[in-house]
Amino acid sequence: GRDLFDTRPAQAVSWPQLRERLRARLGDEAVYRVAASGDPRPERAWKREEDGRPFSAPLRPSRPAWLLRHPIPLRETIARTLSGPERLESGWWDGDDARRDYYVVETARGQRAWAFTPAGERDGWMLHGWFA
């Protein structure tokens, strides 16, 4: 491994080379990029793309790096609200109606979480993701 005073130059690998190495080791299905799908519901807001271009972050409202597959009740004590509410009302057309108020909150342990309540309410907090 490299240490702090290693004078050897770091090996730079281009994105296409790295992508092909990863595909060779992990398989084609394991290497993909994530893109916005246009659906405002967090659980449906992304899609896989096989495009070979390097990732570039879209300009969107702040979203957590770790989105839970399914929201769970927030068991942590909320110390303070950092931002929100951000109202999300969507899905009425496909039977998966979502009416939520999202907040970025800080827990008593200092963790930043993305949580929501049913629209217009302040109880029933659900955890949907964690910020890095």
Q: Which residues contact 57 (CB under 8 A, 6 or more apart)?
A: none
Flag whether pLDDT at 60 surpasses 90. Answer: no
Query: What pLDDT, in 10s, does the model give residues 123-132?
Result: 999 999 999 8
89-111 pLDDT, tens digit per residue, is: 988 888 888 899 999 999 999 99
Q: How far apart are CA 132 and CA 122, in angstroms?
A: 25
What order of strands is seen across the sheet that includes strand 98-107?
A: 66-73, 126-130, 112-118, 98-107, 78-90
Reduced to 3 states, what is the DSSP secondary structure of residue 111? coil
In order of 20, 25, 80, 105, 116, the CA distances from 17 in angstroms are 5, 12, 45, 40, 41
Q: Is the pTM of this model over 0.85?
A: no
CA distance 4 to 83: 39
